[in-house]
Structure 1
């Protein structure tokens, strides 16, 4: 029976059985499956590029750089590192445990659920899968129904590469997701909005299932008065308007020092025109909004400030030009809700206290960006504001590093992943203490004459 015809409960039951048989435990098995996944991605690359163009109008450059290339990099790092990551590690043993040895053993959780979003539908499905495989788990994937061509292709790729008892894809809408969340998984990895993240966490809590939540939020971008404005404009435009702004770590709004605001806006407009031309909605390098609902949500924000650049819309193609908004009230909807689109409010500031007050008034952001030549200024911002991850003098590039843990804090997420940190996210670390039988220190027992003195000396 094809996996698509099986109910989620049966898929999970079979994966539990497969995991209990121990097939995923040997590191050699994991390495072999990671290699098979890499071969499949390379083989499917032309079709994946086409599907990403169909669903989100991603150019070949953008699709490869932000989706396929990142997945292949994660695979390369996992293949090089998994043997070391999976080895038991020796740990220190206190004097109070004389004669003992301590070790920490990474153990796979078991059968895992990976629920992925639509904005980077391939990369945000495959990257956590790589971590799950490297850690020795089985996995059920639930790609987003809002990018149907990519979802269908992921299902085909996985079906051709793995047994469904090991890795399976379940396609469908929110009802399918709800049914999956009722299953007895050993770990749930979710990427998406904070609103849906709460639903996932609530469902997991009912069964005490551990979760990794990669969410979002309003990520601020601060442009100091002594920043390199030309470079800042280029890097902010790249981070904000890639994928038409539909990036969880995209700059959500820009704090720009009063003395350089006018010059910065001018340079940012020039860079956007250089990137996408005078008619950006016609550029083959510029994406579209995923569906009509999100398009209408975004166009509703256009009245929340004065448009100083862009603002063009096309409901037929679901495109919104890169847009800069000035004079945006801090209590307007665009400043209270995550934008997730190609609109960038410009907020003027005079001193650091203003920045901190606005950022701290919102839930903790997933990312924070600071553009400055002043290391002390950057240090104060990074130290005083709570956030998930940061870039100094760049945007979004930290997400492409397989050597950094990527994750939020508070409403922007729980846990982190990428590279070895992804392996850790899908592993339980067992502590094992082995005590000697050669001697038995008497001080811990109640009949020891000198026990209390020894205990006080050792435990202080």
Structure 2
């Protein structure tokens, strides 16, 4: 835990924040803005040590990626919440109950903070997965406790120290530790719990939260597919897919995983993607622009997927120049039409490898996608508007990007989240504010109650029964 709360258990920190939340009472818009600004100021002041820490955790992650993805990505969420929250706070008028509305009865929905939000982040985006949901949690008037990933310990430590210097732990705190701490964290009676990570761990988090009936937001992943239509510009598609896959060496929850293309265009697409990737990374070993795999365990996992495909006789094309893997940097491996029981077909790759599959008819590819779990992202390349509409209407994913990849999570005024195995709930924008708010219905009675004079109270009359029956209409 950070220096301020190191002598307290997670439960004690939660109890402390819950008590302070109740004692504080209503949280003004101005106070919410001030808290968001504190996080913004912290990021601006600490960007260099945070980027350095992320680089050290990865063993050489490019600082420009950490700056763009985690620092600027988090700042975008925080600033949007800061600048927009005043317009999110108003009560929402609703139609009242007939016939009482004729006598002045009114109704509205009031949005109130839930209390204390627990947020469990990831190693692949160690700031963004904590601070982007925090933006919505603070905008909604909540307090929060963050649990960074133990796989990125330097980043966790720098973040914890920065927050401890700027925040009362009764408002925002950080706890650190390994899987046992994460398990204890998930078992606490939070007012809401956010987890970003794998589907397997997401199930464990949801099971733990269910013991206290804690509502959860789960941002998971899946084998995000890319559909390359016959109408797609292959040059454009190849470049955007290769660039998107290269981000963080594929260690992103929305990284393109499986590319579907017509069998007549498969070879051309693969060649073009390879050419783009080699242009980006003419060498792999020691290339400071290439993000290493986070640790030896994940390196072995990605390599095992590729080796399993090769052992089964699958054509695997490796692009990006020579490499030894000694610094955990790998080339891009493209597996062509591997069997469905291959490791690379079964698991989210989460690394610099992808599957390319051919189809005769795009509808067949969609059928294959729909036969699997619903992914966090789906990508479509093409210029046929009718076909695009059909794809959108006949698939389901957390979000969609058209004629590019990995872009829709950057939409600040649109919800980001999964569906089914890729998660539940969302953050970003007003939908994120609503996620961490309780929508409280309020009814105010009018000045006159007509029920007695209308025979609506006991002893019931035949006239009242007839009135009710007359109201039963199709």
Bin for the TM-score computed over the shorter chain: over 0.9
Instruction: Give the secondary-structure state (helix, strand or coil) at the position aligned to 1:95.
Output: coil
- Residue 453 of structure 1 and its aligned partner are, at CA, apart by 4.7
Residue 89 of structure 1 pairs with residue 102 of structure 2? no
Alignment of 1:20-35 (within 5 A): 20-22=22-24, 25-35=27-37
Aligned residue in 1 for 2:128: 123
Aligned residue in 2 for 1:39: 41
- Residue 24 of structure 1 and its aligned partner are, at CA, apart by 6.2
Alignment of 1:55-454 (within 5 A): 55-56=57-58, 57-98=60-101, 99-276=104-281, 278-303=282-307, 304=309, 305-310=314-319, 314-441=324-451, 442=454, 444-446=456-458, 447=460, 450-454=463-467
Q: Does the Cα contact within 8 Å between 1:19 and 1:138 map onto a contact in 2?
A: yes
CA distance in 2, matches of 1:111, 1:443: 48
Report the CA distance shift for 1:24/1:5 in structure 2 as closer, same or farther (over 3 A): farther
Instruction: Give the secondary-structure state (helix, strand or coil) at the position aligned to 2:6.
Output: helix
CA distance in 2, matches of 1:23, 1:204: 26
Q: Does the Cα contact within 8 Å between 2:398 and 2:419 map onto a contact in 1?
A: yes
- Residue 310 of structure 1 and its aligned partner are, at CA, apart by 2.4
CA distance in 1, matches of 2:352, 2:219: 21
Q: Residue by residue, what CA displacement relative to the aligned partner does 1:28-84 show, whole Å, maximum 9, x if unpaired?
A: 211111111111110001112212221223323322221111111111211111112
Instruction: Give the secondary-structure state (helix, strand or coil) at the position aligned to 2:206.
Output: helix
Q: Does the Cα contact within 8 Å between 2:187 and 2:211 map onto a contact in 1?
A: no
- Residue 180 of structure 1 and its aligned partner are, at CA, apart by 1.6
CA distance in 2, matches of 1:253, 1:206: 36
Give runs of ≥4 in structure 1 deviating > 6 Å: none
TM-score (norm 2): 0.93
Q: Does the Cα contact within 8 Å between 1:92 and 1:102 map onto a contact in 2?
A: yes
1:6 to 5, 8, 11: 8
CA distance in 2, matches of 1:443, 1:290: 73
Instruction: Give the secondary-structure state (helix, strand or coil) at the position aligned to 1:212.
Output: strand
Instruction: Give the secondary-structure state (helix, strand or coil) at the position aligned to 2:416.
Output: coil
- Aligned positions, number: 459
Instruction: Give the secondary-structure state (helix, strand or coil) at the position aligned to 2:173.
Output: strand
Report the CA distance shift for 1:313/1:412 in structure 2 as closer, same or farther (over 3 A): farther
Q: Residue by residue, what CA displacement relative to the aligned partner does 1:340-389 show, whole Å, maximum 9, x if unpaired?
A: 11101111111123212321222111110011111112211111112111
Q: Does the Cα contact within 8 Å between 1:24 and 1:30 map onto a contact in 2?
A: no
CA distance in 2, matches of 1:129, 1:172: 20
Q: Does the Cα contact within 8 Å between 1:14 and 1:165 map onto a contact in 2?
A: yes
Report the CA distance shift for 1:90/1:302 in structure 2 as closer, same or farther (over 3 A): same
Q: Does the Cα contact within 8 Å between 1:144 and 1:151 map onto a contact in 2?
A: yes
- Residue 448 of structure 1 and its aligned partner are, at CA, apart by 5.5
- Residue 297 of structure 1 and its aligned partner are, at CA, apart by 0.6
Aligned residue in 2 for 1:49: 51
- Output the aligned Cα RMSD: 1.8
- Residue 454 of structure 1 and its aligned partner are, at CA, apart by 4.2
CA distance in 2, matches of 1:241, 1:418: 25
- Residue 94 of structure 1 and its aligned partner are, at CA, apart by 4.3
Q: Residue by residue, what CA displacement relative to the aligned partner does 1:153-203 show, whole Å, maximum 9, x if unpaired?
A: 110121112111111100000101111222221110111111111111101
Q: Does the Cα contact within 8 Å between 1:118 and 1:144 map onto a contact in 2?
A: yes
Gapped runs of 5+ residues in structure 1?
A: none
Report the CA distance shift for 1:459/1:251 in structure 2 as closer, same or farther (over 3 A): farther
CA distance in 1, matches of 2:174, 2:338: 43
Report the CA distance shift for 1:47/1:444 in structure 2 as closer, same or farther (over 3 A): farther
Q: Does the Cα contact within 8 Å between 2:100 and 2:449 map onto a contact in 1?
A: no
Report the CA distance shift for 1:39/1:347 in structure 2 as closer, same or farther (over 3 A): same
Q: Residue by residue, what CA displacement relative to the aligned partner does 1:238-279 show, whole Å, maximum 9, x if unpaired?
A: 221200100001111111111211111111111112222x21
